[in-house]
Structure 1
Amino acid sequence: MLIDEFDYPLPKNAIAQRPAVPRDRCKLLVLDSEDGSIKHHIFYELSDYLMPGDVIVLNDTKVMHARLHARKETGGKLEVLLLGNNGNLFNCLIKGKVREGTKIIFERYAGKNTEYEGNENNGADGSRGSKGNSGEDGGGGRAEVEGVVVEKEGGKCIVEIPLSMEELEEMGEMPLPPYIREEVDKETAEMYQSVFAREKGSVAAPTAGLHFTEEMIEELKSKGVIISYITLHVGIGTFMPIRSRNVEEHRMEAEFYEISEKVAEEINRASSRGANIVAVGTTAVKTLESSSSDGEVRAGSGWSDLFIYPGYEFDSPITSILTNFHLPKSTPLLLVSAYAGKDAVMKAYDEALKRNYRFLSFGDAMLIIGRAHRG
């Protein structure tokens, strides 16, 4: 299967630069994957497709303020993306030339209003930070902290830094995707976090969940819809393009996931009643598929490098997927094509573009319904 089969023209003006305000006022395209029919709604009308006892599965991961700006002793600028840590040893991607032994200087209290932007093609991960606002004034109160690269392999580095992850996050910024080119203030950048995020550990947002407001979640609960939370920490693989010509040759980066006994029981019980199980986002789909066997969700945690593309046999009790509109030739696009069929998805994308839907992270939503459990 060739990756070029999943290409489509995406105009720059179709890429959302800011989220809808309120969040739930974005558009919602509804695709019935059984007959290919398409309907158009506003996101808050999602409840029209849900009945009491149905389950919405949300990923409650929280995006870290993982982008830091630093310099070398020579003065060369660096951009550092924190991926995780073991004590004072931090797994990082670094934009800028470094090698083992390179000293990295961080400014503990940066000045206000400094915007940095990653490089979509050549940056460490391609993401970018929001407009900074961590200092008390325009240039005072700065304290330098020195780190050192202790290991470098490919594009990844291990950097020893004498600070905790929490202290580094206080200095960091929300890592926004590279296609958000407009200047973004801190308040707008924080909308790259879902209202229900609580388990810190992601370097990118599971964007399908960004559309929910607290009020909408409470209204769904009042209707009798069950809200279940799973966790999958979105890793650097979300930035990585498929470079192989053949889809089957691509390999996913492993990501940590966790499902509680309570949530597994909620989903399985609802599924046995014939209720609708809506996975919100491709990360929720990946989590449920990674933890399911014979159509039932198993509680537990682990690391998943599951790659879902057309031809994949779904084994979880998912009956619907709520998702955003994804980049051409991307792994999320392959996943939804595996679920709904490539032709149906491409037809829906074409209609969405004609109707001026907004695409990607801050864009509009898509509900894929009508395909029951297959496994």
Structure 2
Amino acid sequence: MEITPSLKDYDYHLPDAFIAKYPLKKRDASKLLHYENGKIQHAHFSDLPTVLPPNTQLVFNDTKVIPARLHFRKPTGAAIELFLLNPLKPSTLIPQSMESHGPVVWECMVGNLKRWKEGEQIECEIPLNQQNIVLRAKLLSRETKAVEFSWDPAELTFASIVEASGEVPLPPYLNRKADDSDKSRYQTVYSKIQGAVAAPTAGLHFTEKTLEELKKRKIPLHYLTLHVGAGTFLPIKHQNILEHPMHREQMVFSKENIENLCRTRGNIVAVGTTSLRSLESLYWYGVKLISGSNTEFQVGKLDPYHGEEKNISKQKSFEAILAHMKNTNQAQLIGATEIFIFPGYRFRVCNGLVTNFHQPCSTLILLIAAFTHQQWRVIYEEALKNEYRFLSYGDSSLLWYNKLEV
């Protein structure tokens, strides 16, 4: 497998004026760049149902962004900001932690850590349901940034506490504070399962009307869950990209998801890089089951490259997963992925990708480079020339890896 590990090959100049700081008034009014076999066409996102071929199914990520920024102030006046990253107790599974009625422990990014002593408890009052709720936070470890949260009354879930007190965690490159409109706009219309700290932004363009139009055209819509982590914004700092530490994100697949993947013979178009990473990770889990190595649903950063010699079809991989689920009496799969996709990777599941335009020198631009057979620079230069809006609130693209004509 050919690897191009130099970061400088994935840099480009992105003027600040091209970064969309706010969303458009209408979600589907954004531009849509359509790339296939070296040809580029321009459309609007509302045209997507007519652009997609009929032998296609779309796979969405239905994760819901939680207002993960929590603000406290010590009696001395010092401000402490906590950014929820990963649950630790009573469960490492995000949905279970969010529905907890008792104390929870999360790994957090801590703003102003130097002013907060280990073991020290701080608190804030939250107006909720016509009463004042007291939320307490205790720093358990400065090293691991483990924070315990507790609250009164305890019959409330952690999800309801966070919803009432937290702030929408906008990407740092927007360089502004979240306002009231972000609560709905930095969320897909089909979001369902709470747990992401960043939106699957490719889905922000879809409206109920677009989804209905897709259904009318007999394009199946399927949903998986990957809880997007803050690591998605972590820039690559090493010229050798293989030294970049990939973030781990939780995934959830239903048995129905995998049965649908087994049946499909047409194009599978991932809505967003998070859906794509999840689907490709699922394939490699099936490969691990077939090889008899490990039954744990964990996909490491470079696992795909170690198993590249195994030429196993996606159908055989998914059938192996279904057999394992039947043998272990599982109705759904819950796992985690650190998969790192860069040029040299051969996609096993996804033929097409709906995605926004990404930052220079990021893991996402490397994924796009791999998916477009290294034609990403041509695509991005065309988008800049035509004044597309970039990043989370920006315009969209439909990219093809190998469109099937069936």
**TM-score for both structures, normalised by structure 2:** 0.78
Q: Rate the CA distance shift 1:13–1:358 in 2: closer, same or farther, 3 A.
A: same
Q: Which deviates more, 41-50 or 177-186?
A: 177-186
Q: Give distance in 1, aligned partners of 2:6 and 2:30.
A: 33
Equivalent residue of 1:108, what SS?
strand
Of the three residues 283, 304, 307, the one matched with 2:340 is 307
Q: Give distance in 1, aligned partners of 2:186 and 2:354.
A: 17
1:50, 1:276 within 8 Å by CA — same for their partners in 2? no
Q: Which deviates more, 37-46 or 85-94?
A: 85-94
Of the three residues 249, 260, 268, the one matched with 1:277 is 268
Q: Deviations over 1:27-77 (max 9, x none)?
A: 001111x3x111100001111222334200000000011111112343211
1:55, 1:276 within 8 Å by CA — same for their partners in 2? yes
Q: Deviations over 1:338-361 (max 9, x none)?
A: 11123x111111111111100000
1:67, 1:174 within 8 Å by CA — same for their partners in 2? yes
2:167, 2:178 within 8 Å by CA — same for their partners in 1? no
Residue of structure 2 equivalent to 1:225:
219
Q: Which has the higher helix share?
A: 2
Superposed displacement of residue 172, structure 1: 0.6
Q: Deviations over 1:285-311 (max 9, x none)?
A: 110000014223446331111111111
Residue type at the aligned position of 1:321: L
Superposed displacement of residue 151, structure 1: 1.3
Q: Give distance in 2, aligned partners of 1:3 and 1:370.
A: 22
Task: Confirm whether residue 191 of structure 1 aligns to residue 191 of structure 2.
Answer: no
Unaligned runs of 5+ in 1: 110-133
2:168, 2:182 within 8 Å by CA — same for their partners in 1? no
Task: Confirm whether residue 367 of structure 1 aligns to residue 361 of structure 2.
Answer: no
Residue of structure 2 equivalent to 1:122:
none
Q: Give distance in 1, aligned partners of 2:25 and 2:55.
A: 29
Residue type at the aligned position of 2:148: E
Task: Confirm whether residue 94 of structure 1 aligns to residue 110 of structure 2.
Answer: yes
Residue type at the aligned position of 1:366: S
Q: Give distance in 2, aligned partners of 1:345 and 1:99.
A: 47
1:24, 1:213 within 8 Å by CA — same for their partners in 2? yes
RMSD value, Cα: 2.1
**TM-score for both structures, normalised by structure 1:** 0.84
2:6, 2:240 within 8 Å by CA — same for their partners in 1? yes
Equivalent residue of 2:64, what SS?
strand
Count the aligned residue pairs: 336
1:177-188 correspondence runs (5 A) = 177-182=171-176, 184-188=178-182
Task: Confirm whether residue 74 of structure 1 aligns to residue 107 of structure 2.
Answer: no
Of the three residues 63, 84, 89, the one matched with 1:61 is 63
1:174, 1:190 within 8 Å by CA — same for their partners in 2? no
Q: Deviations over 1:260-309 (max 9, x none)?
A: 221222233222xxx22111111011100000142234463311111111
Superposed displacement of residue 227, structure 1: 0.1
Q: Give distance in 2, aligned partners of 1:79 and 1:351.
A: 40
Superposed displacement of residue 372, structure 1: 4.5
Residue of structure 2 equivalent to 1:118:
none
Identical amino acids, percent of aligned pairs: 40
Task: Confirm whether residue 5 of structure 1 aligns to residue 9 of structure 2.
Answer: yes
Q: Give distance in 2, aligned partners of 1:229 and 1:59.
A: 6
Unaligned runs of 5+ in 2: 91-102, 152-156, 288-312, 323-332
Residue of structure 2 equivalent to 1:159:
147
1:206, 1:281 within 8 Å by CA — same for their partners in 2? yes
Residue of structure 1 equivalent to 2:230:
236
Residue type at the aligned position of 1:48: T
Residue of structure 1 equivalent to 2:282:
291
